[in-house]
């Protein structure tokens, strides 16, 4: 059973959920550029507004971000077709962004120490098919219990796994770098670890201050030390 020593207290967990971007792969800057590149031809002001929204809502699926763009930031008559085109562009750019990237070795060491295929799930806002192809090419699929992504929400994925494993949320842990990771953990009353090192979440300190059962790791080295 995964065991972590957090804030001087040793705790056992039955399941560990991990975000991907900004946690396993240092790809956040590339993803931010991919959103802008996928919307070439739209006004710069609108693209910049989406970039700001993206920084504030790390971990949210691309589907929700583009839906927000075409409904709220730059409304269009045919949201469905506009989203399809933007999602196709984004997917091609995003997947290429991983080609020369290796996963953080500390992340993989952490996964192995916490039970890997038995206990650790990747739950990301990235497209599930795309994410699974990337993990397959990187030789990572067999190191995790499952690789889960959008369009199903993180909340749905986590709730389903908890139900299937008969695991109370208090015995599971969410590790992420964005607001969406924190919000799903809070909604399920699950402990949350915020990994700051690769995060682009600009308001993290403000949002997390005083939140119950939130633990902040400044780096992977610090988080990995919690397993010793």
Query: Could you tell me the residue ranges of all domains in the chain?
Result: 3-27+104-225, 29-96
pTM (global) more than 0.85: yes
- Is CATH 3.40.920.10 the right assignment for the domain spanning 3-27+104-225? no
What confidence score (pLDDT) does residue 29 get?
Answer: 86
What confidence score (pLDDT) does residue 92 get?
Answer: 85
Going 135 to 139 to 144 to 146, the CA torsion angle's sign is positive
Question: What's the rounded Cα separation, in Å, for the pair 65 and 152?
Answer: 14
| Model confidence pLDDT, tens digit, residues 67-102 | 999 999 999 999 999 999 998 888 888 888 888 899
What confidence score (pLDDT) does residue 59 get?
Answer: 66
Element (H, E) at 37: helix 28-38
Q: Which residues of the chain have pLDDT under 70?
A: 58-59
């Amino acid at each position: 059973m995964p065991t972590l020593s957090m804030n001087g207290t040793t705790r056992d967990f039955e399941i560990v959920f991990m975000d991907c971007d900004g946690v396993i792969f240092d790809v956040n800057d590339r993803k931010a550029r991919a959103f802008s590149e996928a919307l070439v031809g739209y006004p710069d002001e609108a693209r910049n507004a989406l970039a700001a929204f993206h920084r504030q809502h790390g971990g949210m699926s691309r589907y929700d971000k583009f839906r927000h763009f075409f409904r709220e930031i730059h409304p269009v008559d045919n949201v469905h077709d506009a989203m399809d085109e933007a999602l196709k562009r984004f997917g091609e750019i995003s997947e290429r962004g991983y080609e020369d990237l290796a996963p953080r070795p500390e992340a993989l060491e952490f996964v192995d120490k916490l039970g890997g295929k038995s206990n650790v799930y990747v739950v990301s806002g990235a497209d599930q098919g795309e994410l699974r192809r990337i993990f397959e090419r990187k030789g990572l699929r067999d190191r995790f219990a499952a690789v889960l992504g959008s369009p199903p929400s993180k909340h749905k994925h986590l709730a389903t796994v908890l139900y299937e494993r008969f695991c109370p949320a208090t015995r599971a842990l969410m590790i992420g770098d964005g607001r969406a990771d924190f919000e799903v953990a809070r909604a399920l009353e699950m402990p949350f670890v915020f990994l700051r090192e690769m995060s682009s979440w600009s308001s993290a300190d403000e949002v997390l201050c005083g939140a119950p059962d939130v633990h902040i790791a400044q780096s992977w080295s610090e988080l990995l030390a919690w397993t010793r």
